[in-house]
Structure 1
């Protein structure tokens, strides 16, 4: 059976994207062994207006939700959903709401590394932000994460210091918006089918299985 390519449009400051990643991992485990999945992470920014250094979390929550108390009410459902996926969200540990453009640049470079490096990096960044409360827009945090994922720190540092792929990231995000991606995560299967939101593992498993079956049927020899 053919492999299935999945592009995940995501932002590392989106809690539902973290939940969606865990659910996809569970979905893949439920697939038949003959179905292979190739996952690639694509950029999206929930708030591209944030400065490079980020913004004080309390100020950000006040501007977005009207205050931290209102934010806690909104995040309550996320905390419950995270608990089901073994994600111990700690929103109170977050001191800075980050600009994630540089994080997406590093994620892009990780795609050129050995298999599994990009996915590992994304997981490290999610944990750094949502559990450890780190600023994932900070160069040192990004370099530590890249190194932990298996990337060369010196090379990554040199790229990060310049403007490499900044324009490409912005263009890719704009393309996603033009395609109708208004929220994340968005799972795009074989560049044809989109599964919006942090759907259940069962929904994702069935979608992947259906696409794999369609690819198998399309590639089968035709008889007269």
Structure 2
């Protein structure tokens, strides 16, 4: 039984951010490289595209607005697809037909956290989007994803139809922005050290060990 104080890691990211998809895998690999360090991970919301309306928009409209054209994104996408493959992940941008606003996705992750399933919920939503081209603006898709992660489908459907926790998610995303987080993923260690970008697992593991050691040294004083 470890006597070390757990290290809190806040992972600030968005479900439709491909580097966040890669970054989630890399922080998981980092944890495997530091198995003796007790860690508590919390997934915090970030809106990569806050201008996308709640009902979402077509993928072509999104890519044209953000990158100038659908073609302009293809070169960028190729590099991200290759990076994802190196982590054993699948990204098929050609399958994505609709760009969602991710408020409801973040609500699902928050609700899944109540039963200890936030990582599974986040992974499921990311796989649906990046691997399968799933429509995350479709309530049926979201409800099924929640059910896949052990949540009650009927309860989730009712909650999605309400404004439950919309204000909370918006406030948390706003808080991240006010703290200066503009690029994701960002990993915040012990609520005071931030590492931005989908960093190498070895680098993240070193940060985990260093900050854990500091936190525990302070606790022993």
Q: If the TM-score is normalised by the length of the shorter chain, which range does it land in?
A: over 0.9
Aligned equivalents of 2:85 and 2:169: distance in 1? 32
Give the equivalent residue in structure 2 for 1:172.
172
Give the equivalent residue in structure 2 for 1:24.
27
Aligned equivalents of 1:88 and 1:142: distance in 2? 20
Any idea what SS the aligned residue of 1:45 has? coil
Q: CA deviation at 1:134?
A: 0.7
Q: Which runs of 5+ in 1 are unaligned?
A: none
Task: Name the Cα RMSD after superposition.
Answer: 1.1
Aligned equivalents of 1:5 and 1:139: distance in 2? 32
Aligned equivalents of 1:62 and 1:125: distance in 2? 24
- Match status 1:46 vs 2:25: no
Any idea what SS the aligned residue of 1:183 has? coil
Q: CA deviation at 1:47?
A: 1.1
Aligned equivalents of 1:88 and 1:155: distance in 2? 31
Aligned equivalents of 2:123 and 2:150: distance in 1? 13
Contact 1:101 1:137 in 2 (8 A): no
Task: List 4+ stretches of structure 1 deviating above 4 A.
Answer: none
Give the equivalent residue in structure 1 for 2:84.
82
- Match status 1:121 vs 2:124: no
1:60-209 pair list within 5 angstroms: 60-113=62-115, 115=116, 117-209=117-209
Aligned equivalents of 1:198 and 1:163: distance in 2? 32
Aligned equivalents of 2:12 and 2:138: distance in 1? 22
TM-score (norm 1): 0.94
Aligned equivalents of 1:44 and 1:34: distance in 2? 30
Aligned counterpart for 1:4 among listed residues 7, 31, 34 = 7
Q: Deviations over 1:82-128 (max 9, x none)?
A: 11101121000000011111111111111111x3x110010000000
Give the equivalent residue in structure 2 for 1:213.
213
Contact 1:103 1:137 in 2 (8 A): no
Q: Deviations over 1:160-193 (max 9, x none)?
A: 1100111111111111101000011111111111
Any idea what SS the aligned residue of 1:195 has? strand
Aligned equivalents of 2:53 and 2:141: distance in 1? 16
Any idea what SS the aligned residue of 1:210 has? helix
Q: How many residues align?
A: 218
Q: CA deviation at 1:219?
A: 2.1
Aligned equivalents of 2:61 and 2:217: distance in 1? 54
Q: CA deviation at 1:73?
A: 0.7
Aligned equivalents of 1:204 and 1:137: distance in 2? 33
